A and B are shown apart, each in its own frame.
Chain A
Amino acid sequence: MMRLLNYRWIQRPVPNPLGEEKATGVTRFFSDMFPQGCLMAKTVRSPHPRAKVKGIDVSQALRGPGVQAIVTAKDIQGLNAYGVFFQEAPVLASTEVNYVGEPLALVAAETEEQAEAAAEAVRVDYEQLPFISSMEEALGPDAPNILPDGNIARHCVIEQGDYRKALAESHLVVKNTYRTQKQKHMYLEPEAGMGYLDEAGVLNLFVGGQNPYRDRLQIARSVGLPKEKIRVVNFPVGGAFGGKDEITLQIHLALLVLKTRRAVKLVWSREESGAAGYSRHAFKMDMETGVGRDGKLTANRAVLFADTGPYMSFGPSVMDVAMETVNGPYIVPHYFIEGTLVRTNNGMSAAFRGFGAPQANFAVESQMNIIAEELGLDKLELREKNIWRSRARANFGHELGNCEGLRKCLEKASRSALWKYRGNIRPARPWLKSGVGVAVAMKGIGFGVLPDYPAAAVEVHPEGHVTALFSNPDYGQGLIVSNAQLVAEKFGISPSLVKVSNADTNFVPDTGGSSASRSTYTSGGALLDSCDKAIAALKVVAADALHTRPDAVTYSEGMLRADAGELDIFRAAGLLKEKGAPTKFVGTFAVPRFDSPVSGSLEIPHMVHSFAALLGEVEVDTLLGTVRVKRLLFYPDIGRVINPVIASAQCDGGLMQGLGYAIMEEHVYDASVPKTRNFTTYLVPCPTDSPVEIGTEFVESTEATGPFGAKGVGEIPIIPVASCLADAVRDATGVRLKQLPMSPGRVLSSLPDQKPAEATA
């Protein structure tokens, strides 16, 4: 057994210093900036899902009052395309448009009203073209090609063993098709930014984003400036959830500032965000899963299709994560996984908390629950028979790390009173039906095989504090306090002495972005390395001051000690400064990676995973079809918990977004026109949807490669919610829904006494 270490500053609910400031309205978001003389900008967007652009006439718009500039594709000095993996999406469309909301021109004027009027006065001559509104159409024989390379953006197959033979010899084969919908991020602060050129000619951009250095690269590539002439600041941000991981308006803002040489502010309206912002990929998943008489999985065949919109953006990552997730955290000896990323004219899909994991989890966990029902096995017992074991060879050929936490998650769930006494819940009215469901989840931390070289820094100030510098934006996760705790723990000083400099390319090293549950793991690792470097350098200068050798100096709790005396790190930093030596130390972190990606994929496999088990209780109104979520009991393994309050806040948030995904949220496209662009038409959970009981109980677990044993928490809570609640609805009503969301209409029409013909279980 490992010795339980007694930590001083981690594993504690240190309050987030931003909490009060945000609560009292003191924090200024970029939307809140109103610099004097700042121009207001608007975007001219396509009303058509697909059209040829025959001309853009800005002459009348330019004559509008207050109009300072109109930017079109002609103004782009660099590459008129963006995209994290493949640069397919035009920065500004000039010859054709491929989705409703695609940007064609930008207007800057003295006031918002003037900019709006001028944007309306821009004349675009369109020739409408046939468009593709579904994956089935896109793959049909007569479909027009959205891009010259065809409507299949990516296709890959991962195979092991002989799934055909294994399925044929299985005791039981469960075959089903699952469908999931597009989900919108609906952050409360829409895409927003403000930019200006400073006296040194540096383009300063304050924009809601998730990865300042990568955004800077994309901006530089398009506007034709060297990266060093651009500063990107991504803090604070009013919500992101993956929807600000790709470029949104950064390049537009840069073009406007460069053309006008003035400060410019660009904020998307809710409706613009609803139409032109990104969404989660809709999936269709054909599953065939085999199991032996002993309850051990024999084979899995998963054929996945995802609607990526006209341009891929994060599509390859989303599909890879889905393919990696669709076997679950289970040993599957034989499998065939096929992923097809399909182009349509239904707006752009990109990253959303969990990438493709919530989708694939809905399929594989529903399969597991059906298998348990068919075999008459306890659902958690079936999982226990199949879960990954530590150090075992995983499905994709790599050796698994520590998976003990996964087993503990299952144990905790099976011991809970809700699971033990699930048959005893009696609803208050005869038309209400209660049920309890279960699901298990896994999520790889970080980018898998993709390059990831995070760097962060600490600076020790003679004035008496330490600054932690990292680029992963804190857009609400609480990274600012948890990273301060990590640095405090390492130095042995109070977190109140640790200040943070966050997400500003002028001041912090490139730690990468906040996505893929990687922030604590990567920035934490790099910060601890920089602390080690700081302490080593401070020992040298202290040895000098104390007339001894560096190896005779010991360090603890902010003090450097030798036989001859002692001094604190701040005084030692002062001595370094006097010698002209740096007091800022850059550290790095080597993300463990498998030598090469699994053939056909970009990033499979991941080496480190978070895990979870989730129990959910629902009450289904069989007259109205409404699903009321009464309880969500969550048992995650996120490694060492740095701050239990903010970690459980992350879990609440992921569970609530998962609840929305499961029972109400759907971004509807009708003939490729987005219909759900605001909070009236696109429903998200509100306070009354908050369950009677929502609780997170972390299992004790440590990851050897993580900072003080931490992994990641951002995505794991959203992943198992839909599959768990589908199981709870099945337990309540006898009907298992295989399509999301489980909205009242869909629930009602599936119930046997309502429409017997459609009651397919």
Chain B
Amino acid sequence: MLRLLREDAGLTGAKPGCEAGECGACTVLLDGQPVTSCLVLAGQVDGSEVMTVEGLERHGKLKHLKHAFADEGAVQCGYCIPGFVVMSYAAIRDGKASDIDGLKKALEGNICRCGGYPKILAAVTASAESGKGGP
């Protein structure tokens, strides 16, 4: 599915970091649930809804998250960040961003080698706060 998204649909927000489900850089939502798209066969998603980071942005779902990531300094090289953003969106939506340990656990499958975790966690927490009482 990762190759289908990138090479056929031109949606390069999902990134190949390992192509083995280890790094989370290719995370997208499959019927609402976060998956590493490198491990999903394209044929398996026939009839499903796939939401990429581009889709979330187009639907106005990233208003708080994108600003928080930029303002908190959470974006360094940025290659892993779209994966983090998709995973963070799901974490906030599912109420997993209210305490820091829960949030760390929710984001556990995503790797940022620039080591931006403290600022990524701060950005998601800030975004969850400002998103309260409406999207």
Q: Check B15 against A29 for contact (C-beta < 8 Å).
A: yes
B74 to chain A, nearest CB (A): 8
For window 12-34 of B, CB contacts with A under 8 Å fall at 12-20, 22-23, 25
- B75 at the A interface (CB under 8 A): yes
Chain B's closest residue to A186 (CB) is B113
B46 to chain A, nearest CB (A): 22
Query: Please, which residues of chain B bring their CB within 8 A of the CB of A478?
Result: 73, 76
Q: Check A24 against B53 for contact (C-beta < 8 Å).
A: yes
- B39 at the A interface (CB under 8 A): no
- A652 at the B interface (CB under 8 A): yes
Q: Check A23 against B77 for contact (C-beta < 8 Å).
A: no
For window 102-118 of B, CB contacts with A under 8 Å fall at 103-105, 107-118
Among B6, B52, B79, B120, contact of A34 (Cβ-Cβ < 8 Å): B6
The CA of A239 and the CA of B20, in the complex, are separated in Å by 19
For window 176-220 of A, CB contacts with B under 8 Å fall at 185-190
Q: Check A18 against B78 for contact (C-beta < 8 Å).
A: yes
Of the listed residues A679, A684, A688, the one surrounded by the most CB atoms of chain B closer than 10 A to its CB is: A679
Q: Check B13 against A24 for contact (C-beta < 8 Å).
A: yes
Of the listed residues B25, B105, B118, the one surrounded by the most CB atoms of chain A closer than 10 A to its CB is: B118
Contact status of A25 and B12, CB under 8 A, knowing A239-B79, A690-B104: yes
Contact status of A23 and B85, CB under 8 A, knowing A188-B77, A687-B108: yes
The CA of A270 and the CA of B104, in the complex, are separated in Å by 25
Q: Check A23 against B73 for contact (C-beta < 8 Å).
A: no
- A476 at the B interface (CB under 8 A): yes
Q: Check A238 against B77 for contact (C-beta < 8 Å).
A: yes
Contact status of A188 and B23, CB under 8 A, knowing A28-B12, A687-B108: yes
For window 39-62 of B, CB contacts with A under 8 Å fall at 52-54, 57, 62
Chain B's closest residue to A680 (CB) is B22
B94-135 to A contact mask, C-beta < 8 Å, 1/0:
000000000111011111111111111100000000000000
Q: Check A270 against B19 for contact (C-beta < 8 Å).
A: yes
- A166 at the B interface (CB under 8 A): no
Q: Check B17 against A188 for contact (C-beta < 8 Å).
A: yes
The CA of A189 and the CA of B105, in the complex, are separated in Å by 24
Chain A's closest residue to B75 (CB) is A19
Q: Check B118 against A23 for contact (C-beta < 8 Å).
A: no
The CA of A239 and the CA of B81, in the complex, are separated in Å by 12
Q: Check B65 against A23 for contact (C-beta < 8 Å).
A: yes
Query: Please, which residues of chain A bring their CB within 8 A of the CB of B92?
Result: none
Q: Check A25 against B52 for contact (C-beta < 8 Å).
A: yes
Q: Check B114 against A687 for contact (C-beta < 8 Å).
A: no
Q: Check B113 against A475 for contact (C-beta < 8 Å).
A: no
Chain B's closest residue to A241 (CB) is B113
- B67 at the A interface (CB under 8 A): yes
Q: Check B19 against A25 for contact (C-beta < 8 Å).
A: no
Query: Please, which residues of chain A bring their CB within 8 A of the CB of B71?
Result: 13, 15, 19, 645
- Size bracket of the B interface: 35 or more
Query: Please, which residues of chain B bring their CB within 8 A of the CB of A28?
Result: 12
- A428 at the B interface (CB under 8 A): no
- B4 at the A interface (CB under 8 A): no
Q: Check A20 against B66 for contact (C-beta < 8 Å).
A: yes
Query: Please, which residues of chain B bring their CB within 8 A of the CB of A19?
Result: 66, 69-71, 73-75, 78
Q: Check B15 against A688 for contact (C-beta < 8 Å).
A: no
Contact status of A270 and B79, CB under 8 A, knowing A24-B57, A32-B12: no
A472 to chain B, nearest CB (A): 14
B64 to chain A, nearest CB (A): 11
Q: Check B82 against A189 for contact (C-beta < 8 Å).
A: no
- A261 at the B interface (CB under 8 A): no
Query: Please, which residues of chain B bring their CB within 8 A of the CB of A87?
Result: none
- A653 at the B interface (CB under 8 A): yes
- A269 at the B interface (CB under 8 A): yes
Q: Tell me which of A586-594, A595-603, A654-662 binds B.
A: A654-662
The CA of A24 and the CA of B12, in the complex, are separated in Å by 10
A27 to chain B, nearest CB (A): 6
B111 to chain A, nearest CB (A): 6
Of the listed residues A22, A189, A645, the one surrounded by the most CB atoms of chain B closer than 10 A to its CB is: A22
The CA of A655 and the CA of B115, in the complex, are separated in Å by 8
Q: Check A690 against B118 for contact (C-beta < 8 Å).
A: yes
- A425 at the B interface (CB under 8 A): no
Count A/B pairs, Cβ under 8 Å. Answer: 177
- A236 at the B interface (CB under 8 A): yes
Contact status of A679 and B22, CB under 8 A, knowing A188-B17, A188-B79, A684-B113: yes
The CA of A241 and the CA of B73, in the complex, are separated in Å by 18
Contact status of A649 and B19, CB under 8 A, knowing A23-B81, A23-B82, A24-B85: no
- B80 at the A interface (CB under 8 A): yes
Query: Please, which residues of chain B bring their CB within 8 A of the CB of A645?
Result: 71-73
Q: Check A686 against B19 for contact (C-beta < 8 Å).
A: no
Of the listed residues B15, B62, B85, the one surrounded by the most CB atoms of chain A closer than 10 A to its CB is: B15
Query: Please, which residues of chain B bring their CB within 8 A of the CB of A114?
Result: none
The CA of A28 and the CA of B15, in the complex, are separated in Å by 10
The CA of A270 and the CA of B113, in the complex, are separated in Å by 14
- A477 at the B interface (CB under 8 A): yes
Of the listed residues B65, B70, B109, the one surrounded by the most CB atoms of chain A closer than 10 A to its CB is: B70
A19 to chain B, nearest CB (A): 3
Q: Check B54 against A189 for contact (C-beta < 8 Å).
A: no
- A368 at the B interface (CB under 8 A): no
- A685 at the B interface (CB under 8 A): yes
For window 19-62 of A, CB contacts with B under 8 Å fall at 19-20, 22-29, 31-32, 34
Q: Check A25 against B110 for contact (C-beta < 8 Å).
A: no
- A705 at the B interface (CB under 8 A): no
Of the listed residues B22, B104, B111, B112, the one surrounded by the most CB atoms of chain A closer than 10 A to its CB is: B112
- A678 at the B interface (CB under 8 A): yes
Contact status of A188 and B73, CB under 8 A, knowing A24-B13, A238-B79: no
The CA of A110 and the CA of B7, in the complex, are separated in Å by 14
The CA of A24 and the CA of B6, in the complex, are separated in Å by 15
The CA of A653 and the CA of B117, in the complex, are separated in Å by 8
Of the listed residues A13, A650, A652, A654, the one surrounded by the most CB atoms of chain B closer than 10 A to its CB is: A652
Q: Check B119 against A649 for contact (C-beta < 8 Å).
A: yes
Query: Please, which residues of chain B bring their CB within 8 A of the CB of A690?
Result: 104, 117-118, 121
The CA of A689 and the CA of B118, in the complex, are separated in Å by 10
Q: Check A188 against B69 for contact (C-beta < 8 Å).
A: no
A506 to chain B, nearest CB (A): 23
Query: Please, which residues of chain A bring their CB within 8 A of the CB of B117?
Result: 652, 656, 685, 687, 689-690
Among B19, B104, B114, contact of A653 (Cβ-Cβ < 8 Å): B114
A437-450 to B contact mask, C-beta < 8 Å, 1/0:
00000000000000
Query: Please, which residues of chain A bring their CB within 8 A of the CB of B114?
Result: 239, 476, 649, 653
Q: Check A31 against B62 for contact (C-beta < 8 Å).
A: no
The CA of A284 and the CA of B131, in the complex, are separated in Å by 52
Of the listed residues B69, B108, B113, the one surrounded by the most CB atoms of chain A closer than 10 A to its CB is: B113
B79 to chain A, nearest CB (A): 3
Query: Please, which residues of chain B bring their CB within 8 A of the CB of A186?
Result: 113
Contact status of A188 and B118, CB under 8 A, knowing A20-B70, A23-B70, A32-B6: no
Q: Check A236 against B78 for contact (C-beta < 8 Å).
A: yes
- A694 at the B interface (CB under 8 A): yes
Of the listed residues B67, B77, B80, B109, the one surrounded by the most CB atoms of chain A closer than 10 A to its CB is: B77
The CA of A25 and the CA of B17, in the complex, are separated in Å by 14
Query: Please, which residues of chain B bring their CB within 8 A of the CB of A648?
Result: 73
Contact status of A23 and B62, CB under 8 A, knowing A32-B6, A478-B76: yes
A472-513 to B contact mask, C-beta < 8 Å, 1/0:
000111100000000000000000000000000000000000
A-B contact pairs, 8 of them (CB 8 A): A20-B70, A24-B66, A188-B23, A188-B77, A239-B76, A240-B77, A476-B78, A680-B20
Give the interface of B toward A (CB within 8 A): 6-7, 10-20, 22-23, 25, 52-54, 57, 62, 65-67, 69-82, 85, 103-105, 107-121
5 tightest Cβ-Cβ pairs between the two chains A and B: A25-B13, A19-B70, A656-B115, A22-B78, A238-B79
